[in-house]
Amino acid sequence: MSKAEILEEPEVEKNDGSEFPTPHLGRSVRIVGQHVNVDMNESPHPKNARGELGKPLFNWYRNTVSKDALTRVSAPNHFADRRQFLTNVINRSTSGKINPRRGAVDDPAAMTRHIKTVALYMGADVVGIAKAHPSYLYASGGGRYVQDGTAKDEYQNYTPEELARKFPYIIQATTAWDYNKLQAHRHHIGDAAYHVSQIKGVMVLKALEGYIKELGYTALRGVVTPQAAGVAGGIGELGRNGLVINKNFGARVHMPDPIMTDLPLLADEPVDIGVEDFCKICRKCANTCPTNSIPFGDKVVHNGIEKYKINWLTCYKLRPYVHDHWGSCLTCAAVCPFTKPNVWWHTMTVSLLHACPYFARPSLVRFLKWIDDRYWGMVRNNRVRWLGYDSGVKPGDQACTVAGCNASHEGKGQAVVGDAGYYAPLKENTNRFVKRDA
């Protein structure tokens, strides 16, 4: 679509169902019925911020300071001083104005290549562009959802249809977190991997938003549900664990708040990397989830969308109880067989799965799962040492295991012996206090 076509687009056009046909989201998610756009105020964090999930969760969210210095500068809400948290600095800054000297885009394909190159140049690991559809958007009138910040603009009261008409593209650029540090999930090392790449992603997307405005086009934030943009933009497929699974990084990619724009681009298509076939058989995440929040059964239709539906409330309720020891669980991301280092044998295996005809995929998946169980085990409990952190030290205990350190650390506990990282048997313990649905 050229610039001229965009400008000459008729303003008033009623949606009779043919304007926005049901989008194809790949094999992992299907829109099968009437979808009601979700009010962002009904999503977990805003609900919790209003105290609707009970006192322990409210206090965990609003009134706790992490014991770990790096978590205090990189994780949302557990800082000692808000000013040290970069996401807060960036998302609360006043946004710049759109450049009145709009550059003409004659070739949307060249602009698409450019925007993707720019996102990667700024530090993103994956970029995808989705064609906007009203069902990807939050409900109108509910406001914008930007964590630790605000995003107010003149389009606040537009309906999802009006927004999708005016801003036909959604850019999702994201960062992946470090594989080796993720092996020490349920530990501050895993938190470091997750949270530092998250603040980096926030910075990259804000820079990209600013750049689109400098090109003379609008860039809206807090409008689109991130995972819908990720799946529609070909970043990955939606897995049983409710995470978007990417071909290079598996489940270890963030799904940040995407950019909705009127910049003329070409949209990507959803991908098929065999997540659908794998999740049907694997169930590793469901088996290892400490709170049983991931379903063992088949997909369900929720709000008109057929997908695996996780129980976000039980996942969320664990958090205040483990706050003293770590921030983010990440078990489902760490155990996912797709989550591997981004190296040739991983690329080769995913390509094989992609090329395999559908009827033969179950056998291939069973074989790959057998290899995965054999070499990587059911749950990751490698011992990871990183900058004085050691996953061999039990959460809550303190012990210096840095080689050659002769500083006095009196009255500190002992590290576990051997090459095993600490793995809390949470699954058994949480049965005592996590109320389960059915």
Partner 1 sequence: MAITFPWSKRNSHRDDPYWNFFINTPPADLGNTVTEMIRKAPEGNIFPAKTELHTPEITTSHVKGMAEYFGAALTGIARLDVNDGTNPEGLPFAVVCAVRAEYDPRKSPGIGGQVPVQNGLFVTFVLSAWIRELGFRATAAPQPGDEKLAAQARLGTLNSEGRLVTPQFGVNVYVANAIRTDLPLAPDG
1, 139, 203, 424: residue in contact with partner 1 (rule CB under 8 A): 203
Query: 334: exposed, middle or buried (C-beta count within 10 Å: 0-12, 13-18, 19+)?
Result: buried
Are 21 and 134 a contacting pair, CB within 8 Å? no
210, 341, 377, 396: residue in contact with partner 1 (rule CB under 8 A): 210
5, 94, 154, 375: residue in contact with partner 1 (rule CB under 8 A): 94
CB of 401 to partner 1, least distance (A): 11
Binding flag, residue 409, partner 1 (CB under 8 A): yes
Binding flag, residue 1, partner 1 (CB under 8 A): no
Size of the site for partner 1 (CB under 8 A): 56
Residue 19: strand, helix, or coil = coil
Binding flag, residue 99, partner 1 (CB under 8 A): yes
What length does the chain have?
438
Per the DSSP assignment, residues forming a β-bridge with 405 are none
Which residues 178-197 are close enough to bind partner 1 by CB under 8 A? 192, 196
Binding flag, residue 107, partner 1 (CB under 8 A): yes
Are 434 and 314 a contacting pair, CB within 8 Å? yes
81, 269, 373, 397: residue in contact with partner 1 (rule CB under 8 A): 81
x/- letters, 28..47, toward partner 1 (CB under 8 A): --------------------
What gap in Å lies between CA 173 and CA 254, rounded to an integer?
9
Closer residue to partner 1, CB minimum distance, 261 or 311: 261
Both tokens assigned to 201: 């992603």
Query: 138: exposed, middle or buried (C-beta count within 10 Å: 0-12, 13-18, 19+)?
Result: buried
27, 35, 72, 280: residue in contact with partner 1 (rule CB under 8 A): 72
In the block, residue with structure tokens 């709009």 = 102
Binding flag, residue 377, partner 1 (CB under 8 A): no
CB of 99 to partner 1, least distance (A): 5
Closer residue to partner 1, CB minimum distance, 59 or 180: 180
CB of 405 to partner 1, least distance (A): 5
In the block, residue with structure tokens 């706050």 = 323
Closer residue to partner 1, CB minimum distance, 43 or 95: 95
x/- letters, 113..132, toward partner 1 (CB under 8 A): xx--xx--xxx---------
x/- letters, 134..173, toward partner 1 (CB under 8 A): ----------------------------------------
Are 424 and 186 a contacting pair, CB within 8 Å? yes
Going edge to edge, which strands form the sheet with 305-307?
A: 30-31, 305-307, 300-302
DSSP 289-347: -TT--S-SS--EEETTEEE----HHHHHHTHHHHTTT-S---HHHHH-TT---SSHHHH
51, 96, 297, 341: residue in contact with partner 1 (rule CB under 8 A): 96
Backbone φ, ψ for residue 244 (5° rounding) = -80, 125
Question: 3-state SS of 335-362?
Answer: HCCCCCCCCHHHHHHHHHHHHCCHHHHH
Amino acid at 15: N
CB of 73 to partner 1, least distance (A): 4
> Which residues lie near partner 1 (CB under 8 A)?
69-70, 72-74, 80-86, 89-90, 93-97, 99-101, 103, 107, 110-111, 113-114, 117-118, 121-123, 192, 196, 199-200, 203, 206-207, 209-211, 213-215, 386-388, 400, 402, 404-407, 409
